[in-house]
Amino acid sequence: MIRPLALLTLALATPAGAFDFAQPIACTLGTDCHVQNYFDRDPGAGTADVGCGNLTYNGHDGTDFALPSLAAMQAGVDVLAAAPGTVRGIRDGMPDIAISDPAAPPLDGRDCGNGVAIDHGDGWETQYCHMKQGSIRVRTGDRVETGQPLGLVGLSGNTEFPHLHLTIRKDGTELDPFAPEPATACGTVPPDTLWSAPLAYDPFGFTGAGFFTAVPEWDAIKAGLDSPATLPTDAPALVLWASYFGPRQGDELTLAITGPQGEVIRQTIPIDRTQAIAFRAVGKRTPQGGWPAGSYSGEIALTRNGVELGRQGVMLTVE
């Protein structure tokens, strides 16, 4: 579960004559989904998201609503029409596979993957990308209403993680829905947004955490690794892991395990490089005689410039 603690609300009013756009994915930001990449507001070779952070990349023209794991994608999360309009076009049939997988087919210009484009009139358009193969429920020419399911979040096209990429255009120009006026400086609360209800800018969040008997593989975490409710007293090791988005060089990540006899391990790890997503783990091998039976808690926290941005807790019973 994601539990962001530092959120900046960025929705105040909507520009005159503009559409109100609703959240285009059926999840709760900060709980079971998050924004992985925002609109790149830097017009040059650099990058800057709406909060002057690193959650974007050069030329990114939309908003990426990400799921925490492949398991969440496989369970099915609806993509929703962000405003009423007419379906201008669709694409389906592309496989759900990471672009880095050697088995991924050539894109041939189909970077969006499976998707839907909606014409809202008066020059407004939305495009929904990377949808799940075979999930699209609308056809070209269909009239849709706000919140109507269009299909499911997937892993098609040019992507490495399950997410919905939403692009909003006015007269062919891509706009940042968090701050549609290009002159708005990053890091400032914009005078208007395109969201019909406030969406929070979150520079960091946890996407998962748990106990394990060894340092888990990154692929297992991305797939949706579950934390066990119980472990035996002779488990080979007790490891606490956490995955997260938005870490920056200079951050500090603290992981601690406490058991029935007190603290088992506590480690503060300096983050040595800025990344989009990452994971870390700490643990100890089984002591002589095994782990004491009882309740164990894991606590993970990240601080930036002395300010705590997120905290996550997990529980375990040893018996």
Check which CATH number belongs to the domain holding 267 and give it: 2.60.40.10
Q: Are residues 37 and 94 in the same domain?
A: yes
Residue listed under structure tokens 């019909």: 196
d(CA 301, CA 152): 32
For residues 152 and 72, the answer to whether their CB atoms sit within 8 Å is: no
Measured over the CA atoms of residue 278, residue 30, residue 211 and residue 251, the dihedral's sign is positive
**Tally of domains in the chain:** 2
Domain region containing 226 = 205-318
Q: Are residues 185 and 64 in the same domain?
A: yes
Q: How far is residue 172 from each of residues 123, 189, 226, measured CA to CA in Å?
A: 7, 25, 43
Tell whether 9 is covered by a domain. no
pLDDT at 158: 98
Tell whether 134 is covered by a domain. yes
Q: Are residues 111 and 239 in the same domain?
A: no
Q: Are residues 185 and 288 in the same domain?
A: no
pLDDT at 18: 59
* CATH at residue 33: 2.70.70.10
Q: In the listed set 170, 193, 216, which residue is the last one of a domain according to the structure? A: 193
Q: How far is residue 58 from each of residues 48, 62, 223, 245, 266, measured CA to CA in Å?
A: 8, 11, 27, 18, 38
Q: Are residues 94 and 211 in the same domain?
A: no
Q: Are residues 24 and 165 in the same domain?
A: yes
Tell whether 8 is covered by a domain. no
Q: Are residues 232 and 278 in the same domain?
A: yes
pLDDT at 3: 40
Q: In the listed set 124, 159, 193, which residue is the last one of a domain according to the structure? A: 193
Residue type, 94: M
Query: pLDDT by residue for the chain (319 residues), tens digit each?
Result: 444 333 333 333 344 345 799 999 999 999 999 999 999 999 888 999 999 999 999 999 999 999 999 999 999 999 999 999 999 999 999 999 999 999 999 999 999 999 999 999 999 999 999 999 999 999 999 999 999 999 999 999 999 999 999 999 999 999 999 999 888 888 888 888 999 999 989 999 999 999 999 999 999 999 999 999 999 999 999 999 999 999 999 999 999 999 999 999 999 999 999 999 999 999 999 999 999 999 999 999 999 999 999 999 999 999 9
Q: In the listed set 169, 193, 217, which residue is the last one of a domain according to the structure? A: 193
pLDDT at 192: 86
pTM: 0.92
Q: Are residues 183 and 107 in the same domain?
A: yes
Measured over the CA atoms of residue 306, residue 34, residue 7 and residue 63, the dihedral's sign is positive
Tell whether 75 is covered by a domain. yes
Q: Are residues 107 and 226 in the same domain?
A: no
Q: Are residues 174 and 271 in the same domain?
A: no
Q: Are residues 261 and 292 in the same domain?
A: yes
Q: Which residues pair with 151 in a beta bridge?
A: 79
Q: Are residues 95 and 70 in the same domain?
A: yes
